[in-house]
């Protein structure tokens, strides 16, 4: 935007009007390494307007500055009569990364790149130079060439979920789970949960699955492995069968 100007601009305006009639188009003689397109650099913009400005008593003075985050360029259009008009243009400085392990930081190269871009843009705007590939065409997607696709950022590899702690396997032989000493029904095996800490270690080893039954086995002792002995006693700690008043089992 315009910062300052002289009280009178009549001579400057007349000289600028003559100069713009002689200004040439800036040649596209540089290549953008990211977009792979050609553009008119600062030298080409100066070549397009230097002779026209000089012939009409005009000059351009540019003064860069930065605060570590933003780059600034003040452009002053001067006339030999002393009349002038100045404007300021700013742009963020893009941090650069030279090491993938280090965070991006503002370097001298990044600052110079931002200042050079501002000088080129401000000079072309103040004098009236129209590069053939104005950056506005690239921004609106109407450029003649198709830029090369930008590489997609690689996402961080996903970590596999931590394995869940496995409960201690039951030492009860399959198919020989103890039955409830109260109702002879199936029982819950609490030993794996007691071993993993999910249940109080003082809890009973087995509990009846029937909520209306209070059958418990506090300490279960398994029989030794081997052939089944020829006996009528139960294989595991089960209650003796009920008998009638004559001593016969039900």
Alpha helices in 9-166 (DSSP H): 10-22, 42-55, 108-127, 135-140
Which spans in the chain are helix H? 10-22, 42-55, 108-127, 135-140, 191-196
pLDDT tens, residue by residue, 95-150: 877 777 778 888 888 889 899 999 999 999 998 898 765 455 554 454 444 455 55
Average pLDDT, the chain: 77
If you average pLDDT over residues 3-9, what whole number do you get? 91
Q: Which residue has the higher pLDDT, 228 or 130?
A: 130
What local confidence, expressed as pLDDT, does residue 170 receive?
Answer: 46
Q: Taken in order 197, 198, 204, 206, is the CA torsion positive or negative?
A: negative
Mean pLDDT of 173-198: 80
Confidence of residue 179 (pLDDT cuts 50, 70, 90): confident
Angle CA 60–62–68, to nearest 5: 170
Question: What's the whole-model pTM score?
Answer: 0.49
Give every CB contact of residue 72 below 8 A, 6+ residues apart in sequence. Answer: 64, 65, 66, 88, 89, 90, 118
Q: How many residues does the chain have?
A: 250
What pLDDT sits at residue 91? 93
CA distance 147 to 145: 6
Which pLDDT value is given to residue 32?
A: 62
Most confident of 21-35, 80-94, 97-111, 204-218: 80-94
* Own/partner pairs, 58-63, CB within 8 angstroms, 24+ separation: 58/12, 58/15, 58/16, 58/19, 60/123, 60/126, 60/127, 62/119, 62/122, 62/123
How many of the other CB atoms lie within 10 Å of CB of 78?
18
Percent of the chain scored above 90 by pLDDT? 26
Yes or no: say if 85 and 9 are a contact pair by the CB < 8 Å rule: yes
How confident is the model at residue 42, as a pLDDT?
87
Q: What is the pLDDT of residues 20-59, one digit of tens each?
A: 999 887 777 666 655 556 677 888 888 889 999 999 999 9
């Amino acid at each position: 935007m315009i910062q300052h100007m002289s009280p009178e601009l009549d001579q400057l305006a007349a000289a600028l009007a003559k100069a713009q009639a002689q200004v040439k188009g800036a040649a596209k003689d540089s290549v953008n390494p990211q977009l792979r397109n050609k553009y008119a650099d600062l030298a080409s913009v100066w070549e397009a307007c230097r002779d026209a400005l000089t012939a009409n008593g005009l000059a351009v003075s540019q003064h860069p500055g930065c605060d570590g985050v933003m780059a600034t360029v003040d452009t002053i259009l001067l006339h030999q009569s002393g009349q002038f008009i100045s404007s300021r243009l700013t742009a963020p400085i893009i941090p650069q990364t030279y090491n993938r392990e280090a965070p991006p930081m503002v370097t001298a190269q990044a600052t110079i790149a931002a200042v050079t871009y501002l000088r080129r843009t401000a000079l072309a705007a103040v004098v009236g130079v129209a590069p053939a590939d104005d950056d506005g065409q690239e921004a609106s997607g109407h450029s003649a060439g198709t830029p090369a696709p930008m590489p997609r950022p690689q996402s961080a590899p996903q970590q596999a979920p931590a394995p869940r702690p496995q409960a201690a396997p039951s030492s009860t032989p399959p198919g020989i789970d103890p039955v409830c000493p109260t109702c002879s029904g199936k029982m819950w095996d609490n030993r794996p949960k007691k071993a993993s800490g999910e249940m109080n270690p003082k809890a009973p080893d087995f509990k009846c699955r029937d909520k209306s039954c209070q059958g418990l086995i506090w300490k279960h002792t398994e029989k030794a492995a081997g052939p089944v002995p020829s006996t009528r006693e139960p294989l595991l700690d089960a209650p003796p069968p009920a008998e009638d008043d004559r001593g016969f089992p039900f």
